[in-house]
A and B are shown apart, each in its own frame.
Chain A
Amino acid sequence: MNNKKVLLEVKDLTVSYGGINAVKGISFLVHAGDIVTLLGANGAGKTTTLHSISGITPYKGDILYKGQNLRKVPAHSIVGLGIAQVPEGRGIFGNLTVMENLTISTWQRKDRSNIKTDLEYVFDLFPRLKERIKQPGGTLSGGEQQMLALGRALMSKAELLLLDEPSMGLSPLLSQEIFKMLIRINSAGTTLLLVEQNANLALQIANSGYVLETGMIVLSGTGDELRGNPLIKEAYLG
């Protein structure tokens, strides 16, 4: 279905919390340059999957990034390899200024001289952030915080962005705006793995998707296939 290079390969991923399997042996691929979405209801295992990829939760199975097994790689070094997460609820440091939030994610970067150019790129995407660089992150509105979280992830020079429900808590209009930015970020060459409950929005922009139910992949296909699938229509698109 895709002849692009495989960027991320998740093989037989299993995660358990206190004896309960949150993720039960799922496997999927993310190709370079794509937008891939993981759909599913609350508790389906979407966030747990992203946490495993970022290395902040122990798991069984294998996660390979550009062919490298991430099992033994500490979470902070995974960011250095080019995987950044925009966490659920945005995860803005409310006590740091907008500028500090944007620069904290550059810790692993070796090319410090390019940071300024990338800041310009982020301010070009989200001009509102530039007006607020000295403001504490906690004083921003929900939409601005989402922009800041996206900008912060981009500042790490990520090739793969893991997005955990970027539309959560935002008005439909703001969600549309954020998703437009996701398309722009993707067309600039960044691969996106997008976790969403809002299947409607996600499938508008995704090349391919996987549907999770209680820790298992129950359906997968291209964005178009999933949009047209009667089960999806019934369960997620309303």
Chain B
Amino acid sequence: MTYLLQQTLNALQLGSIYALIALGYTMVYGILRMINFAHGDFFMVGAFLCFVVVTFMQLPFAPALLVTIIGVSLLGVIVERIAYRPLRQAPRVSAIITALGVGIFLENFTLALSPYPKSIPPLIPAVNWTIGGVTLSSLQVIIVFLSIALMSALHFIVQHTRVGIAMRAISWDINLVPLMGVPVNRIVSITFALGSGLGGAAGMMYGMAYPVIDPYMGILVGWKAFISAVVGGIGNIRGAVLGGFILGAVEILVAAFLPSTYRDFVAFSLLLILLVFRPHGILGKPRSQKV
């Protein structure tokens, strides 16, 4: 029982990181029907940006988080502006290839800056609380609460602000939105800023929780978060969060009860089976094309 509780805590920590990244995939897909395959690398840039400002500028936790989020937001906005926007009317496959290219560029750019694996110095005092045999670290608490806070902020923006209404309108029909007086490109930029910023925050938290960061760390984590978004129902914000936590839980539970090399194999098999029965994801709905 204690063991299960302990694993649940670990699952929450991993799940919140997947959920934060999955949100970026789902938001961009929701408005542009495009998979931003560079998003996993935005996550990696977040970890490295945090490493740089903490190591060379000695920034403490909160300012480092702020700089990381703003920096990766900007990266998302710039990439959309110069790489994706010119291809908005092009076939989707061109945009996807471009995204893959941007990802490879970011990986190798980071690699070129310095080829050695890095480690983010400790940013918060490491405290462990043991309650009834279950150990809770200060880092876990921060990761889970910060993720929930960021997701709540996103939920508020999407559901209760003018920009959020415009984002949802674009996801319904991007061609109608200019007729409402809404500047579509600005909303797309804001969407990229929000999604990328969350990915950057996830990168920083991941880098704080795991011993090393390297330029390729975004590939596997990015794929997993993408699959989380698909499992939850891509384009659906609650679905992305749900998918992230499900994947986190499945991975941790598999590793807890089976040899750890089975982890990805079993986790992905389960997800594939789920998609056979719910091809639009758990919360995704097939949208009938209305005339």
Residues of chain A touching chain B, judged by Cβ–Cβ distance below 8 Å, are 54-56, 74-77, 79-80, 84-85, 87, 89, 91, 93-96, 100, 103-108, 152, 156
Of all chain B residues, the one with the shortest Cβ separation from A156 is B181
Report the nearest A residue to B290, measured CB to CB: A94
A55 and B183 alpha carbons, distance in the complex (Å): 13
Q: Which residues of B contact A103 (CB under 8 A)?
A: 162, 165
Whether the Cβ atoms of A107 and B172 lie closer than 8 Å is no
Is there contact, CB below 8 Å, between B168 and A75?
no
A80 and B168: CB pair below 8 A? Answer: no
Given contacts A75-B178, A76-B178, A107-B162, contact A93 B169 (CB under 8 A): yes
Chain B interface category by residue count: 10 to 19
The answer on a CB contact under 8 Å between B181 and A79 is: yes
Chain B residue nearest to A94 in the complex (CB) = B172
Q: How many angstroms from the CA of A93 to the CA of B181 in the assembled complex?
A: 14
Q: How far is the CA of A108 from the CA of B180 in the complex (A)?
A: 9
What is the bound-complex CA distance between A55 and B177, given in angstroms? 12
Number of A-B pairs, beta carbon distance below 8 Å: 69
Task: Point out which of A56, A89, A93, A105 has the most chain B C-beta atoms below 10 A from its C-beta.
Answer: A93
Residues of B near any A CB (own CB < 8 A): 162, 165-166, 168-169, 171-173, 175-176, 178-184, 290-291
| CA of A107 to CA of B168, assembled, Å | 14
Tell me which residues across on chain B come within 8 A of A93, comparing CB atoms: 168-169, 172-173, 176
CA distance A50 to B3 in the complex (A): 66
Inter-chain contact A107/B176, CB cutoff 8 Å? no
A55 proximity list for chain B (CB < 8 A): 178
Inter-subunit contact B183/A100 (CB<8 Å): no
A residues near B291, Cβ cutoff 8 Å: 89
Extra pairs beyond A75-B178, A104-B166 (9, CB < 8 Å): A56-B178, A76-B184, A89-B291, A93-B176, A94-B290, A95-B171, A95-B172, A104-B169, A107-B162
Are A79 and B180 in contact, with the CB atoms below 8 A? yes
